[in-house]
Structure 1
Amino acid sequence: MRYSEDHKAQTHQRIIKEASARFRRDGIGATGLQPLMKALGLTHGGFYAHFKSKDELVEKSLNQAVEDLAAHCDDLFSKKDKPLAAFIDHYLSNSHRATPEMGCPLPTMSAELGQRGQASPTTDKMIHNRLSAIESGLPEDTVSKSELSTVMLSALVGAMVLSRSAHDPELSDRILETTREWLKGQAKG
């Protein structure tokens, strides 16, 4: 039985969405192609009808994560009252910590891509977009918005990484809470 081109495009998109969630949750190296395809009811061999390599899937999945989060981040930054504080509260929330498959890919994927020597232009784009959004939320009289936004984004991602890796729930919560309050204090100017 032959499938329509639309079916192939839909299957392609399903693979990307599932991989995007798994890469954010489990990491790139820990996500095998066979289990990924099996979860979608597809064969491992069928993967190569859609992608040349796992690396191609990683890049497309990273793009998918950027798209998934763009509207949400734009919504947070469009808040009239304290948009940067709303973004910080959301980013360093218990729900973001508990659902990496739906959250920012930077805490999970960026370290792994760097270790593998596979820096991505998509990662650069995401970082620039977040830095720009953070800068726009800083008070007008902030002396060095560029430097402060870089430190803030680094603290957000680093705090999420540490919080997710802490075994002690109190320590994990303290990392999020302390970083969140410090960053919100910086956002006030």
Structure 2
Amino acid sequence: MRYSEDHKAKTHQRIIEEAARLFRQDGVGATGLQPLMKTLGLTHGGFYAHFKSKDELVEKALGHAVERLNTSLAIQSQSLPAFIKYYLSSAHRADPGTGCPLTTLCAELGQRGQPSEITDSMVNNRLAMIEAALPEDEHADEQAVLMFSAMVGALLLSRSVSDPALSDRLLKTTRKLLIEQAEASVEA
């Protein structure tokens, strides 16, 4: 049975969306092509009608995850404190499959020797967004690096500890201190 081009495009997009969710949730290495395709009701062999390799899918899925996150952040965060609150929230921690891909994928891609230009772009965009929200001074770029690194690190750590109180403490403390830093910068 022949499918229309529209069907193929929709299937292609479904694979990217599910891969983006699973890669963020479980990691690239832990997400096999066969289980991914089975989740979608497709065969493993059908994967190669859409992608040359898993590496190609990783890049496309990461791009999709970044695009979704950018849309979500544009809606949810109109200020730096709002962005910090969202990023370091228990809801964001609890749903890695729809959240920031950096906490799941960066270490794994680096360990695999596969840094991504999409990751570069995402990090640069976040740094620029944070820096733009800070008052112009000679250290705003450094402050943005510190703030975003602390956010990603706190979220990553909060997801990796087994003690719920410790997980909450990591988010709450980092969130509190970064918001104080952001507000103090604006007031200065």
TM value normalised by structure 2: 0.95
Q: How many residues align?
A: 184
Q: Which residue of 1 aligns with 2:89?
A: 93
Task: Tell me the equivalent position of 2:164.
Answer: 169
In 2, Cα distance between the equivalents of 1:152 and 1:34? 39
Query: Counterpart amino acid of 1:117?
Result: G
Moved more, 68-77 or 53-62: 68-77
Find the aligned partners of 1:75 and 1:130 in 2 and give their Cα distance.
15
After superposition, give the CA deviation of every residue in 1:156-176 in whole Å (9 maximum; x if it has no partner): 110011000010000000000
C-alpha displacement of 1:148 = 0.5
What SS class does the counterpart of residue 12 from structure 1 fall into? helix
> Structure 2 CA distance, aligned partners of 1:172 and 1:158?
12
Write the distance in 2 (CA, Å) between the matches of 1:177 and 1:142. 28
SS in structure 2 of the partner of residue 8 of structure 1: helix
Measure the CA separation in 2 of the matches of 1:107 and 1:185. Answer: 23
For the pair 1:84 / 2:74, whether they are aligned, the reply is no
Q: Which amino acid aligns with 1:156?
A: M
**Residues of 2 paired with 1:134 and 1:93: CA distance?**
18
Give the direction of change, closer, same or farther, for the CA distance of 1:51–1:20 in structure 2 (3 Å limit).
same
Describe the superposition over 1:111-155 as per-residue Cα deviations: whole angstroms up to 9, x where unpaired: 1000000000000000011001111111x2554110010111111
Extract unaligned runs of 5+ from structure 1: none
Of the three residues 138, 147, 151, the one matched with 2:146 is 151
For 1:15, the equivalent position in structure 2 comes to 15
Q: Distance in 2 between matches of 1:127 and 1:108?
A: 14
* AA aligned opposite 1:71: T
Give the gaps of 5 or more residues in structure 2: none
Q: Deviations over 1:6-32 (max 9, x none)?
A: 100100000000000000000000001
Alpha-carbon distance between aligned partners in 1 of 2:101 and 2:160, rounded to the nearest angstrom: 15
**TM-fit CA distance, 1:75:** 2.8
Counterpart residue number, 1:71: 71
State the distance in 1 between where 2:7 and 2:155 align.
Answer: 38
